[in-house]
Structure 1
């Protein structure tokens, strides 16, 4: 059961509300009403929009230079440290197995939480302080659950949930807070449906509604200011997997890639969704660009993205009957997979199955057997690749 607990913790972690400026306010609206909350300061929103967009486009140097200026202007406010943490979170998001940025991320989150806690201690009705604490502890729990630090992750998740409840009730924040409600509505139903052992745990929480959760995510993606991009991120992932709506996933990932063309996560997601809907030539083009960017050392482009891209290219060549090029890119998929220690991933396993089949066609039975044995080594018994490997070994008496 412990191995599935991360699903609950990630759910609670996702209730932390990241601040993402995906759109700017109307430039001709100069009738600002002063707000007691820095997050709702329209002048600040204008100033930081470009910085946040730079962060999402993986121009961290520009973004963090601006965030440092904010830290001088607002030394006691959690916003600057939180934005710095968010930048490191996106570095982690590209490859969550890479622990290189963990300490930096957690350091900034801790400082943001400390400042928000001081604000909350001074005024327990401060919705902005509760907002930051929900977000900070939420992200903290999300990373700790990825690292299987169960006790710390559970504590952070519970704390995030507490502050999310306390941050409600401020009408100005409603579009942003709706993201937390949306994710809870969806996953509080999805988790017990897919993991029956967790039903007693989820029974302790209010009943959700998956359809309402999707509607709320669409609402946030269309209307929110701070959380718009984050809502899109969750939407395209849900549409691609759980909701089985690949064209909706493609619509959103295409927008995100066009808006943030240097974000490797959005780039590989766009290539993947093109592949899924059968737009092979376009997927080939985007995938080749990903590999070119890895070779040139472009920020954020690394072996995990390479594993995706090489696999899509291999599949393209296999479909057009170019076995030699298909083999070359399946081998690249293995190389990138081993570099990122992703031997249990579907693309890695499927590439080995395909290479085994190609070896059979080339009358290299010993090599084919080695590929199939590796599949059995890395894949769980119920995995389709494991079954395919067993069948090939049995059928061909390897």
Structure 2
């Protein structure tokens, strides 16, 4: 939610777009800013929480099924309950934010490739922002209002960054950080309020570690604490009602991609995949971790399930998930079952999935082409091997073993 709060959307959008399939695919490789202080303090004595839907246990009980449906990609069922909440509270930001969150999870599985939900998403977040502004205008100590202002602007910034709308994303980022400062005064009241600070603490350290040229700019910002941020994310993941799953998603990704603690990320990924079996995003990330940890039986089970659900057109099962699953199946057919015709078929399906949504900058697309090139060379099908190796030479990092292998083969077979 607060991915883009620090230095504008460009940097953190780039950071989060690092493909998970290239981050740690060990087995697969065979083939003018003001200082803002954000402190964790208890809710101020002057806060009146009467009427805060965010803390209303009856509302949480009512919406429990809707939240489960949202993350299990039963969008219609979830949104039916969110619209019911909107009918009763038409001037409160919560129902609009939840409808926006549901729309967000229609975009997520496509790796932000699909733009068909953009207008709806922005409309919901803008409406949530409008009604949240009214809450804090009526009561400057309405931290629930600040929470929704921070959250709505944060999501707005993220999608605008993905769409390269840098001006809009920067404006929303600054607003989100400002409101995060205000909402953090209620951190002691509910884990929901802690989510934004957890991400801030982590990324305030992550950015200078990964982009040292930005260290001078970061002098204007408060210091972060990565371990505290991870600890806070765990607190939210274990206790948050509305933000709990979002915290688990961030924690899972950070542990695997950035902290190199895949074993620690695995229980989170497994829990999400088992609790929400029809969430294609959770399924493919779980399959990735199973592959990384050499749990090939589970990786195969999940991958087959993903491909089956793609074939029947289940919501949220897109080309990105197919790219993951078909590569894993190709690898298993090649190295575990020694069924090379099936391996070729799965690798080719991986390539089709990748090309269908433009995910051809490396990752599984590169690995599938490399393995197909080797198999073609083994069969002395030189035209096919050349075709695949040319893709590898074009897409692979010039320092990588795959690039060197492709260039060496092409040079050796230049007259073939």
TM-score, length-scaled by structure 1: 0.89
Tell me: CA distance 1:213–1:90, structure 2 relative to 1, closer, same or farther (3 Å).
same
After alignment, is 384-393 or 200-209 more displaced?
A: 384-393
Per-residue CA deviation, residues 305-334 of structure 1 (Å, 9 max, x unaligned), is: 100000000111111222221111100100
Q: 1:345 to 1:175 in 2, by over 3 A?
A: same
Aligned twin of 2:385: 368
Contact 2:192-2:242 at 8 Å conserved across structures:
yes
Distance in 2, Cα, partners of 1:97 & 1:383? 27
Which residue, out of 340, 349, 352, partners 1:323?
Answer: 340
Matched, 1:252 2:256: no
2:97 aligned with 1:93, yes or no?
Answer: no
Tell me how far 1:246 sits from its aligned partner. Answer: 1.4
User: Which residue of the partner structure matches residue 359 of structure 2?
Assistant: 342
Aligned partner of residue 226 in structure 1, secondary structure: coil
- Give the corresponding residue for 1:36: 51
TM-score when normalising by structure 2: 0.85
Indicate conservation of the 8 Å contact 1:311/1:333, yes or no.
Answer: yes
Quote the offset at 1:378 in angstroms.
3.5
- Once the two structures are TM-superposed, the CA of residue 226 in structure 1 deviates from its matched residue by 2.7
Structure 1 residues 87 and 10, CA, compared in 2 at 3 Å: closer, same or farther? farther
* Cα contact 1:113–1:137 (8 A) shared by 2: yes
Deviation at residue 273 of structure 1 after TM alignment? 1.0
**Alpha-carbon contact 2:150-2:176 (below 8 Å) kept:** yes
Query: Where in structure 1 are there 5+ consecutive unaligned residues?
Result: 13-32
Shift of 1:373: 1.4
Which residue does the alignment assign to 1:190? 206
* 2:207 paired with 1:203: no
**Bigger shift: 384-393 or 357-366?**
384-393
Q: Deviations over 1:36-56 (max 9, x none)?
A: 311111111111111111111
How many residues get paired?
376
Gaps of 5+ in 2: 1-6, 17-47
Which residue of 1 is the match for residue 288 of structure 2? 272
Which structure has the higher relative contact order (CA within 8 Å, separation 6+)? 2
Structure 2 counterparts to residues 237-248 of structure 1, below 5 A: 237-248=253-264
Equivalent pair of 1:221/1:227 in contact (CA under 8 Å): yes
Which residue of the other structure, out of 183, 197, 200, is the alignment partner of 1:167?
A: 183
Q: 1:232 aligns with which of 245, 248, 257?
A: 248
**Cross-structure match for 1:6:** 10
SS at 1:317 equivalent = helix
Answer yes or no: is 1:106 the counterpart of 2:122.
yes
What residue number does 2:313 align with?
Answer: 297
- Give the distance between the partners of 1:384 and 1:117, measured in 2 at CA: 54
Distance 2:233 2:401 in 1: 32
Alpha carbons 2:8, 2:170 under 8 Å: kept: no
- What residue number does 2:142 align with? 126
Given that 1:35 and 1:41 are in contact with CA atoms closer than 8 Å, whether structure 2 keeps it comes out as no
Root mean square deviation of aligned Cα? 2.2
Say if 1:343 and 1:349, in contact at 8 Å, map to a contact too. Answer: yes
Task: Tell me the CA shift for residue 34 of structure 1.
Answer: 7.8
Q: Does 1:57 align with 2:61?
A: no
